[in-house]
Amino acid sequence: MDSTFDLIVFDWDGTLMDSTAHIAASIQAACADLGLPVPDRSAASHVIGLGLNDAMQHVCPGLAPERYQDMTDAYRRHYLSGDATIELFAGVMEGLAELQQHGVLLAVATGKSRKGLDRVLAESGLSAVFHATRTADECYSKPHPAMLLELTDELGVEPRRTLMVGDTTHDLLMARNAGTHKVGVSYGAHPVDALKECQPMALFDDFRSFLQWLKPQIG
């Protein structure tokens, strides 16, 4: 295919699904349950996109290792209590369908667990849309390049013909480390100024704007 990008890799939370606020609130509630200092919204949002254990270590730096499991269990309990109410961002379902019609390869690289990603893919009806996926319990956590490099290897696409789309600096730094192209979305977990420091090709305020930018570059 004569195009700039043959593979588009998406982050999930805060990029395709409007889950940032619920994740941050679940982290805060889990800290409260364990009698730990409750991080503010910015600090709780900053760790979104990391693997769960890495996220908890960052947000609760004083937590003893033997209590990590208690923290992750408390987080999962709060997250799952409202999981069914979370929706995809406007334009995502239609946009992914349009990309399918163009024949471009689609993938997901997420801080979710395999079990968590498979659940939301099934609930959202997107299980068949993506050609490959990677989760934080299968790879090194972002911003390590493993997720992207494994996806490009599996799908037979060179990193230079791959685009990473994410809402956090973790996503954009992973792309830089993997040698892929990268764009950011401003409606997720990390502030625009932080995303700009990672020098993405572009930043978008909504998914439809991203799609309009992308179309000329996929044939």
DSSP 170-192: HHHHHHHHHT-EEEEETTSSS-H
The answer to whether residues 167 and 173 touch, using CB atoms and an 8 Å cutoff, is: no
Is 37 exposed, middle or buried, given 0-12, 13-18 or 19+ CB atoms closer than 10 A? exposed
CA distance linking residue 51 with residue 53, whole number of Å: 6
Catalytic positions are: 11, 13
- Exposed e or buried b per residue across 130-150, where buried means at least 16 C-beta atoms within 10 angstroms of its C-beta: bbbbbbbbebebbbbbbbbbb
Long-range contacts of 122-131 (CB under 8 A, 24+ apart): 123/84, 124/17, 124/88, 124/93, 125/93, 126/93, 126/96, 129/96, 129/97, 129/100, 130/106, 131/105, 131/106, 131/107, 131/155
